[in-house]
Amino acid sequence: MHEFTVASGIVDSLREVYLVKGFKITSFKIAIGELSMFDKNILAELVKELLSGTELRNAKFSTIIEEALVKCESCGKSYTFKELVKTLNDEEREMIHFIPELLSSYVKCFSCGSRDLKILCGRGVKVIDIELQPR
Amino acid sequence: MSYNQDKIDYREFLIWKRLRNISFTIFVGSGKGGVGKSLIATTMGLILTGNSFRVGLLDLDMHGPSSLMILDIKQLPKEEKNGLVPPSINNLKVMSIGFFAKDSPLPLSGMAKREIIKELLAITDFGTLDYLIIDLPPGTGDESLAAINYIKNNRGVILVSTPSRLAQQVVKRAAIFFIDMNVKIIGLIENMVLDNDFGGTYNLARELNVPFLGYIPYDKRVAYISEINPKELTKTTFAEALQNALKKANIIH
Ligand SMILES: [Zn+2]
């Protein structure tokens, strides 16, 4: 699990908005795609800790889980994360954690067997709903 | 300055930060497959580490990631605080989609490939490098577009052709693509030359006004790569010719 890499990437990129673009950040949300299988609490804890030593220490944030939806492009069926993940072993889960697109390497459509699976939502971690104020 | 973006992709920042520690990126591309491109990218990496450069190899050939097999790498990348640290062989740090896909198929759409490249560039911690070598898939598809898009500075491409006229025809198309995308053409190489039976890559280079880096003889030992170990790879006539090509490109002296 590479939570620290992601947390520092998030905080550093927000600091960039502050330092280079010249905006104060009042609040933001971290949306964690289910397929990335990040631990929401660990990620939130790390971001909080990393923010505390910076200009952005007063920024408020929340973490939400973005549900994953994967569509079979061959037959049109859609699948949720829960349906997909139960067929995967630990090693396969770890690979998808790092690179969600590899889902189609490890899962076939339960209905038609196709590997033409498209991730509609819930793949990785995003920072959204950033509220800014001029500095 | 106006700024109205309400979301951030932290990966773009990570990529930017990591690229600051990489002095130069060499893309290795070709027009068509089966021209020995991956072997050239891999051997080039070993030659450069042998010349005391700090070098990483990123295998983005998703249709046939082969660097792990060529180098016989069994070790997985290690998870460290700042990202995934690639395993090294002869000091060459190697990252490949092959680590993650194992032997499973890789049925990927263009968009999925772009996401994967972004993810790999963001999570891989190559550290400080003199050269990052990127093994691109044949042609000018999404992998090449994404790599060019994320690595905008200090970059150049070496294009691999063969004596076959078909290979040259498609490498010409690739060369024009890279020129249009403002990627410096380091030079063209003609690989797999049998019995000094040279093809027209030299003339193609002149026509395109780009450097020609030389001919590389077909080396039977290298062709049967599974029978040669990575350490011997740099001692072959294949590697010797490649070394001369790198000298011509002023990459080694
Ligand atoms: Zn289906």
Look at residues B127, B131, B134 and name the one whose alpha carbon lies nearest to residue B96. B134
Percent of chain B with pLDDT over 70: 97
| A38 CA distance to ligand 1 middle (Å) | 27
Cβ contact B125:B160 at 8 Å: no
Percent of chain B with pLDDT over 90: 80
Residues of A in contact with B123 (CB under 8 A): 2, 5, 98
Domain ranges of chain A: 2-67+123-134, 69-121
| B112 CA distance to ligand 1 middle (Å) | 18
Residues of A in contact with B101 (CB under 8 A): 95, 102, 105
User: Per mean pLDDT, which of A26-30, B66-70, B192-196 is the most reliable?
Assistant: A26-30
- What's the pLDDT at B226? 64
Percent of chain A with pLDDT over 70: 99
**B158 forms bridges with which residues in the sheet?**
B28, B187
List of long-range contacts for B70-77, beta carbons under 8 Å, 24+ apart: B70/B38, B70/B39, B70/B42, B70/B225, B70/B230, B70/B233, B71/B42, B71/B230, B72/B229, B72/B230, B77/B124
List the single residue in B with minimal CA-CA distance to A116. Answer: B107
Look at residues A34, A3, A14, A68 and name the one whose alpha carbon lies nearest to residue B8. A14
Q: For residue A106, which amino acid is it?
A: Y
* Neighbouring residues of B176: CB distance < 8 A, sequence distance ≥ 6: B208
ipTM tops the 0.90 cut: yes
B127 backbone φψ class: left, alpha, beta (φ>0; ψ -120 to 50) = left
Rounded mean pLDDT, B185-200: 94
Strands (E), B50-128: 55-59, 78-80, 83-85, 88-89, 92-96
pLDDT tier, B3 (very low <50, low <70, confident <90, very high otherwise): low
pLDDT tier, B5 (very low <50, low <70, confident <90, very high otherwise): confident
Q: Per CB distance under 8 Å, which residues of A are interface residues toward B?
A: 1-2, 4-6, 8-10, 12-14, 16-17, 21-23, 95, 98-102, 104-106, 115-119, 123-132
Chain B interface, best mutation among A1, A3, A5, by max B CB count within 10 A: A5
pLDDT tier, B2 (very low <50, low <70, confident <90, very high otherwise): very low
Do the chains contact at B115 and A17, CB–CB below 8 Å? no
Domains and CATH numbers, chain B: 10-248 (3.40.50.300)
| Residue burial A59-75, b: 16+ Cβ < 10 Å; e: rest | bebebeebebbbbbeee
Nearest-Å Rg of the Cα atoms of chain A is 17
Inter-chain Cβ pairs, chain A and chain B, closer than 8 A: 102
| B116 CA distance to ligand 1 middle (Å) | 23
* Neighbouring residues of B40: CB distance < 8 A, sequence distance ≥ 6: B28, B158, B160, B189, B191, B216, B242
Q: For residues A29 and A12, give the distance between their C-alpha atoms in angstroms, rounded to a whole number.
A: 15
Question: Which residue blocks in chain B are alpha helix, DSSP H?
Answer: 10-19, 37-50, 67-70, 98-101, 110-123, 142-150, 165-180, 201-208, 220-223, 230-233, 237-248
- What's the pLDDT at B124? 98
HEC readout, chain A: CCHHHHHHHHHHHHHHHHHCCCEEEEEEEEEEEHHHCCCHHHHHHHHHHHHHCCCCCCCEEEEEEECCEEEECCCCCEEEHHHHHCCCCHHHHHHHHHCHHHHHHHCCCCCCCCCCEEEEECCCEEEEEEEEEEC
Q: The whole model's pTM is what?
A: 0.94
Rounded mean pLDDT, B170-181: 96
| Angle, alpha carbons A73-A124-B14 (nearest 5°) | 130
B175: closest CA of chain A, how far (Å): 30
Rounded mean pLDDT, B193-214: 95
- What's the pLDDT at B1? 34
Q: Which fold has domain A2-67+123-134?
A: hypothetical protein PF0899 fold (3.30.2320)
The per-type count for chain B, helices as H runs and strands as E runs, is 11, 10
- A67, pLDDT greater than 80: yes
B226 vs A75, more confident: A75
- What's the pLDDT at A23? 87
- What's the pLDDT at B156? 98
Do the chains contact at B79 and A14, CB–CB below 8 Å? no
Residues of B in contact with A129 (CB under 8 A): 6-7
Do the chains contact at B104 and A105, CB–CB below 8 Å? yes
Residue B159 parent element (H or E)? strand B155-161
- What's the pLDDT at B125? 98
Output the CA–CA distances (angstroms, integers) from residue B18 to A20, B6, B126, B211, in the order listed.
18, 24, 8, 30
Mean pLDDT of chain B: 93
Q: For residues B72 and B78, give the distance between their C-alpha atoms in angstroms, rounded to a whole number.
A: 17
Residue B184, φ and ψ in degrees, nearest 5: -65, 130
pLDDT tier, B225 (very low <50, low <70, confident <90, very high otherwise): low
| A109 CA distance to ligand 1 middle (Å) | 5
